[in-house]
Amino acid sequence: MSTVSDLTAHTGYWLRMVSNAVSQDFARKVSDEGVTVAEWTFMRALYDAKAMAPSALAEKMGMTKGAISKLADRLLEKGLLARTDNPDDKRAHSLSLTDAGRTKVPVLAALADMNDAEYFDVLTREEHETLDRILKALVERRGLRTPPVD
């Protein structure tokens, strides 16, 4: 017998295989709309919040301030995001979606819905529900809090 386990012996292997496939499919879909998955997550967060400070977004998305700045730069160039000064604290900025940005969110959300439905429709309803339940249990019991970006 070998002392070296096979890659396929690990749950993490199958998890990544499925997760990467779903993500790559979704990345292709949103890229047709001119954004990356990280940009979509960013826009989705701002859609509810109306306006947020970069630091608050960094906290919410589990990213560094630097990463947020770079993402914001790209979305600004694409005309989907606005950066406004804070009159009370001249160091602070506020990020919000432009009208173009807000218009795009439902389109991207529909792609997300479609992608998920498409990917998991090979499961029975019971399998799908069981998968959701176990994944959420894992997140809860391990205390995971950082939403996935990529």
What is the contact surface with a copy of itself in residues (CB under 8 A)?
A: 3-5, 7, 9-23, 26, 41, 44, 47, 105-106, 109, 112-113, 115-116, 119-120, 122-123, 127-128, 130-132, 134-139, 141-142, 144, 146-150
Long-range CB contacts (within 8 A, 24+) of 79-86: 80/35, 80/39, 80/43, 80/104, 81/43, 81/46, 84/51, 86/53
Minimum distance from residue 66 beta carbon to DNA (Å): 3
Q: Which of 73, 121, 127, 129 binds DNA (CB under 7 A)?
A: 73
135 binds, among DNA, a copy of itself, none (CB under 5 to 8 A by kind): a copy of itself
What H or E segment, with its residue span, contains residue 27? helix 11-31
Among residues 22, 45, 51, 53, the one that binds DNA under rule CB under 7 A: 53
Q: Sign of the CA dihedral 16, 20, 21, 23?
A: positive
Amino acid at 61: M
